[in-house]
Amino acid sequence: MPSAPSGKTILIAGPTASGKSAAALAIAEKFGGEIVNADALQVYNDLRILSARPPAEDLSSAVHHLYGHVDGAVRYSAGEWSRDAAAALADIHARGRCALFVGGTGLYFRALEQGLAETPTVPDEVRREAAKRYDEIGAEAFRLEVLAFDPAMARLDPSDRQRHIRAWEVFHAGGAPLSDFQNAPGRPVVDKTDIRIVIDPPRERLYAAIETRYDGMIAAGAIDEARALAARGLDPELPVMKAVGAVELIAHLAGQIGLDAAIDLAKRNSRRFAKRQLTWFRRQTPDWMRAATPEDAVRMALAHP
């Protein structure tokens, strides 16, 4: 085993099904490092299968942080992840270990290197009031209400319920427009990154991997997992209820679509999601190293001084 790069930080990003977790595990085993989740769906306890959380044997092979630690009823924000990630990083480095952040959520990687604007904590009663207000007056009137105190939110898609509600919540919880908080400089989580790799497979291979993996999820019990999630009766606007691959199965279980059609739709939506992830990483991380396969990513990391 190479000597552990004490206190170093490695970032491994890429689209869904690109092999990020396998690469991170191999690097962690070589370096004696610890893995920190940077995927917005893998934080949820309800989505063990449908978020492709690392299996138990991988979790036992290296220390993993921020996987499945959030209940699906929680609207977990990037700001909350940023604070949790900072605590995990401090703990890992304090023990002289290498920290490997791995995932596909671009905003999380932006938080690591650039920071996010600090927004106020929104009390549960304000969250409930915002959702109730939206349902009572409708999307158009609610949008006009938001624009009255935060004109910058005109950039939002008029049909984006979640972001309009977020703007309303922040204004009523923090006493200032969300745009004011967003325009304030953020504080990076990481002082210095040592290795930054995007796994960017050829499109055809990635799409084939997405389809194969989803078939594996179905075989592993994804339908039962979706059934358990649906049975909770959670707000359909919660992030966990909008997870690609889960929402289609929930529609099937509600009798809205056949199983074969749900699986085909989930695969199609997963391919589209991967395409959006690739676009984000190509635009936002042009100076990161690129690896076509997980094995390439491991070789790059091990060869890095």
Nearest to 299 by CA among 26, 19, 50, 6: 26
Q: Where are the alpha helices (DSSP H) in 123-197?
A: 124-149, 161-174, 178-183
Predicted confidence (pLDDT) per residue in 167-193, tens digit: 999 999 999 999 998 887 788 999 999
The torsion angles phi and psi of 46, rounded to 5 degrees, stand at -75, -15
Domain ranges, ordered by start, for the chain: 9-116+187-303, 124-183
Output the pLDDT for position 304.
86
Ramachandran angles phi, psi of 248, nearest 5°: -70, -40
- Other C-beta atoms within 10 Å of 257: how many? 17
Phi, psi of 55, deg, nearest 5: -70, 170
Q: Which residues pair with 120 in a beta bridge?
A: none
pLDDT digit string, tens, across residues 102-125: 999 999 999 999 998 778 888 989
**Per CATH, which fold does 124-183 belong to?**
Histone, subunit A (1.10.20)
Percentage helix, strand, coil, to 5, in the chain?
55, 10, 35
Considering the domain delimited by 9-116+187-303, tell me its CATH architecture: 3-Layer(aba) Sandwich (3.40)
Q: State residue 1's pLDDT score.
A: 39
> 6: pLDDT confidence band, cut at 50, 70 and 90?
low
**pLDDT tens figures, 30-66:** 988 999 999 999 999 999 999 999 999 999 999 999 9
Name the E strands within the chain.
9-13, 34-37, 64-65, 99-103, 195-199, 289-291
102 strand-pairing partners: 12, 37
d(CA 38, CA 167): 24
Q: What is the dihedral of CA 197, 203, 207, 213, to 10 degrees?
A: -30
pLDDT tens figures, 208-260: 999 999 999 999 999 999 999 999 999 898 999 999 999 999 999 999 999 99
Whether the per-residue pLDDT at 2 is higher than 80: the answer is: no
Q: How far apart are CA 17 and CA 250, in angstroms?
A: 22
Global pTM value: 0.84
Provide CB contacts within 8 A for 175, sequence distance 6+. Answer: none
Q: Which of 82, 79, 182, 172 is nearest to 124 (CA)?
A: 172
Separation of alpha carbons 299 and 305, rounded Å: 12
The vertex-30 CA angle with 28 and 35, nearest 5°, equals: 5
